[in-house]
Amino acid sequence: MFKRSEQAVHEMLAPLGITIGGSSPQDIRIHDQRFYDRIMSGGSLGLGESYMDGWWDANQLDAFFAALLSDRSLIERAKKFWPAMLNAYAGNMVNRQGTARQSFKSGQAHYDIGNDLYTRMLDTRMAYTCGYWKDATNVDEAQEAKFDLVCRKIGLKPGMKVLDLGCGWGCFAKFAAEKYDVSVVGVTVSKDQVALGMEMCQGLPVELKLQDYRDTSGKYDRVVSIGLMEHIGPKNYRTFMQVIHRTLKDGDEGLALVHTIGGNYSTTSIDPWIDKYIFPNAVLPSIAQISAAMENLFVMEDWHNIGADYDKTLMAWYENISAKWDELDPQKYDERFRRMWDYYLLSCAGSFRSRMNQLWQVVISKKGVPGGYMTVR
């Protein structure tokens, strides 16, 4: 059986320029011959789990995935493996993020694993979303530039009230309050984020709440969502847009911005390995799904794709955590966890490098900006 599976894997990788045992960055090395059967039976889930188990390595994991994911037909074939089909079935039949309890559970699975990990991986502001690298030379500059870009896109002015849906550790809220003299209310489903975030925002007009986005109330001059839409599920996209519409003040000047990872096609599920180990119940929205969710609610004022910048951001996170891994508790973050985390960061970097995934910033208004929206870059 090994020989048949081995031949199939070789035939799959060869056209992509990936050699087993080669010396190029994208080439891989096999340490356990069971790898071949595991891939042919489990698809992307088997690929990720066998890496966690130490059955194979890559010369550069990010380069391997950039090459692998450049073949869109291979991605289509991956959907036919049973873990992917099971995820797709569940996504079609069940609203996996239908209740606040489910969203809290998903948040705890990733964002509450430990602030000790994230403080060593992220920039000084604790931004866990794509940076803006147009003029930046490091991740700190890229995240500051991203926040400033968001503030300029929505036209922040002193005294405005801002709602931040999916606020993380309050990094945007802190930046906007400091630099643009606004007050911010942020909501997240991670208790660890609220605890550290409120500490970081001490003394500023910022309030972070442990709350599901659907439970927000009040009216705000501006609404932003930076990295939430990926987590709410397709069956809730319309509800998400309705929440933005409900909380954004009426009038000609109200603007909202949605910053989200996006996919090139509409789906109801995510990669099985990512779903199981990193972001449970997450799904990347497509252009069609986003536009359908906002129909008859908003005017789309601007759509900006900075997806290539996520490759640089993920590589910066990988370099940060690699340099500081020895500072972490090995009992809490063992070798298998480290391989899982490396696989997560570098496979995602490869996915953005291959342009399989995108990062969109969408500016929307309720009735359209009078005279037209002036695009900001």
What is 337-377 written as a DSSP string? HHHHHHHHHHHHHHHHHTTSEEEEEEEEESS--TT------
Q: Tell me, what's the pLDDT at 88?
A: 52
pTM for this model (two decimals): 0.94
User: How many separate helices (H) and strands (E) can be counted in the chain?
Assistant: 15, 9
Buried b / exposed e over 352-372, threshold 16 CB at 10 Å, is: bbbebbbbbbbbbbbeebeee
Q: Tell me, what's the pLDDT at 82?
A: 44
Q: Where are the alpha helices (DSSP H) in 16-99?
A: 34-52, 61-68, 72-78, 82-93
Check if 171 is active-site: no
**Catalytic pick from 130, 171, 201, 348?**
348
As averages over each run of 10 residues, the pLDDT of the chain (377 residues) reads 81 92 98 94 92 98 95 66 49 59 76 94 98 98 98 98 98 98 97 96 97 96 97 96 97 91 93 94 96 97 98 98 98 97 98 97 96 95
Q: Tell me, what's the pLDDT at 362?
A: 98
Cα 291 to chain centroid, rounded = 19
Q: Tens of pLDDT along 94-112?
A: 565 666 677 777 777 788 8
Domains of the chain: 2-91 (no CATH), 99-365 (3.40.50.150)
Q: Tens of pLDDT along 139-170?
A: 999 999 999 999 999 999 999 999 999 999 99
How many other CB atoms are there within 10 angstroms of residue 44's CB atom? 20
Interstrand relation of 161-165 and 299-305 (parallel, antiparallel or unpaired): unpaired
Written as one letter, the residue type at 232 is I
How many other CB atoms are there within 10 angstroms of residue 330's CB atom? 11
Q: Tell me, what's the pLDDT at 20?
A: 96
- Name the CA dihedral angle for 206, 212, 214, 216, rounded to a multiple of 10 degrees: -30
Q: Tell me, what's the pLDDT at 135?
A: 97
Q: Tell me, what's the pLDDT at 359?
A: 98
Q: Tell me, what's the pLDDT at 89?
A: 42
Q: Tell me, what's the pLDDT at 253?
A: 79
